[in-house]
Amino acid sequence: MQVKDVLAHKSGGVATIEPGMSVAEVVAALAEHGVGALVVSSDRRTIEGIISERDVVRALNTFGPGLLGMEVREIMTVNVHTCVPTDEVRLLARTMTDKRFRHMPVTINGALSGIVSIGDLVKSRMDEMETEHDQLVDYISSAR
Ligand code: AMP
């Protein structure tokens, strides 16, 4: 199974935020979109960073309540790992587990085109295993 198969089962686009917006706006956008991370981009194509709820919690511990008025660029992660639609889900899940992040933006020709979460990957893997299981049960039953 590839990333594009996971994206085919997802609705909606990628939630983004501009680097000059405030952390208060990040919190509002995370809640509004019901997601755990936002891609930071000024034009919705170029990835400038990523900011997740974990960054907000860590920064709250460092800066205190004044954090809400700070800019996204001050606390975002700049070195973003991305994937492409033809990447294998199994390998991607391994990378995300090893590197300890739960979100991976998807690019086509370097431009932002989607995002997958570890939850999306686990769900698609479970669906795949259920299908394999059902096929095996059918095969065994028909061989009797
Ligand atoms: P998450 O598990 O996605 O909430 O993110 C945990 C940490 O990893 C946060 O500091 C994020 O900014 C960072 N992070 C999330 N996704 C990525 C990614 N694809 N590449 C690099 N860092 C990431």
Ligand 1 pocket residue status of 117, Cβ below 6 Å: no
Does ligand 1 lie within 6 Å of residue 54's CB atom? Answer: yes
Q: β-strand 37-40 against 49-52: which pairing, if any?
A: antiparallel
Q: 3-142 adopts what CATH topology?
A: CBS-domain (3.10.580)
Say yes or no: CB of residue 107 within 6 Å of ligand 1. no
DSSP the chain: -BHHHHHHT--S---EE-TTSBHHHHHHHHHHHT-SEEEE-SSSSS--EEEEHHHHHHHHHHHGGGGGGSBHHHHSB-S---B-TTSBHHHHHHHHHHHT--EEEEEETTEEEEEEEHHHHHHHHHHHHHHHHHHHHHHHHHH-
The per-residue pLDDT for 115 is 97
Quote the ligand 1 centre to 50 CA distance (angstroms): 7
Of ligand 1's listed atoms, the one at least distance from the Cα of 51 is: 12
**What are the mean pLDDT values of the chain's consecutive 10-residue runs (144 residues total)?**
92 93 98 96 98 98 96 98 96 94 97 95 88 90 81
Is 50 touching ligand 1 by the criterion CB < 6 Å? yes
The pTM of this model reads: 0.91
Q: What was the pLDDT predicted at 10?
A: 84
Give the per-residue pLDDT at 143: 79
Residue 6: per-residue pLDDT: 93
